[in-house]
């Protein structure tokens, strides 16, 4: 019998984790998502994650957090250390989608890079344009993006419409456009490794005891 597993995830990863759950046959895994808009208020992320852990602690054998640091400045890691729960590696989703070494190469080649993922392309207006007030005040573009040189779309899927939308976003921000197809990167490898080990009973300690 499989151990019960809960993934507490940023809503920006819901599509990808749901796809992995389906393709890997993880019927014993449940997904709880926290509003992706908290990326605009990262100070709220740690306590929201803590609340989700404590609300679900008794119901699952294992809990794993599908967040990077996401701008919390280490506060999320402090909460997770207190709660004895682990998370995905990296500072943000761009890093674990691209992989550590490839992301380092991209950042080194052009530090002034703005990144998009499939999720951010789909919700570009809602998560980028509207919160920054650029729809009403496009003149603010240079104030926000004046230090950026290019936009790189780190794609999870090969979708021509999303690539076109990402290129349009780059043009809208006045940035050069680049595209790197990453797939699910370390999101997939980390979840497959952990869920498989838990299912095989290689980690018998109840992390949530």
Q: What is the pLDDT of residues 164-204, one digit of tens each?
A: 999 999 999 999 999 999 999 999 999 999 888 887 654 43
Pairing of strands 62-66, 5-10: parallel
Predicted confidence at residue 197, as pLDDT, reads 83
3-state secondary structure at position 133? coil
Q: What is the mean pLDDT of the chain?
A: 91
Pairing of strands 29-34, 5-10: parallel
Structure-token pair, residue 58 = 């008794």
Predicted confidence at residue 2, as pLDDT, reads 61
| pTM listed for this prediction | 0.87
Q: What is the distance between the alpha carbons of residues 106 and 108, in angstroms, rounded to a whole number?
A: 5
> Where in 41-185 does DSSP place strands (E)?
62-66, 86-87, 113-116, 150-155, 176-181
> Quick one: which of 71, 68, 65 has its CA closest to 84?
65
**Count of CA atoms in the C-beta half-sphere (13 A) of 28:** 15
Q: What is the distance between the alpha carbons of residues 31 and 184, in angstroms, rounded to a whole number?
A: 17
Predicted confidence at residue 40, as pLDDT, reads 87
Predicted confidence at residue 207, as pLDDT, reads 33
What percent of the chain stands above pLDDT 90? Answer: 84
Is it the case that residue 206 has pLDDT exceeding 90? no
pLDDT in tens, 36-91: 989 889 999 999 999 999 999 999 999 999 999 999 999 999 999 999 999 998 89
Is it the case that residue 209 has pLDDT exceeding 50? no
């Amino acid at each position: 019998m499989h151990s019960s597993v809960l993934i507490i995830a940023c809503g920006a990863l819901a599509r990808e984790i749901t796809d992995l759950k389906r393709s890997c046959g993880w019927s014993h895994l449940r997904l709880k998502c926290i509003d992706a808009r908290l990326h605009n208020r990262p100070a709220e992320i740690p306590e929201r994650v803590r609340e989700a852990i404590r609300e679900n602690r008794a119901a699952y054998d294992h809990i794993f957090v599908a967040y990077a640091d996401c701008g919390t400045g280490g506060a999320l890691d402090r909460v997770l250390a207190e709660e004895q729960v682990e998370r995905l590696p990296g500072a943000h989703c761009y890093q674990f989608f691209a992989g550590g070494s490839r992301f380092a190469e991209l950042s080194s080649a052009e530090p002034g890079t703005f990144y998009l993922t499939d999720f951010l392309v789909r919700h570009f207006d809602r998560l980028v344009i509207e919160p920054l007030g650029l729809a009403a005040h496009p003149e603010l573009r240079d104030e926000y993006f004046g230090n950026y040189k290019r936009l790189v779309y780190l794609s999870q899927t090969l979708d021509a419409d999303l690539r076109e939308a990402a290129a349009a976003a780059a043009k809208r921000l006045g940035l050069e456009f680049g595209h790197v197809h990453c797939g699910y990167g370390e999101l997939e490898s980390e979840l497959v490794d952990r869920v498989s080990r838990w299912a095989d009973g290689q980690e018998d300690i109840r992390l949530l005891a």
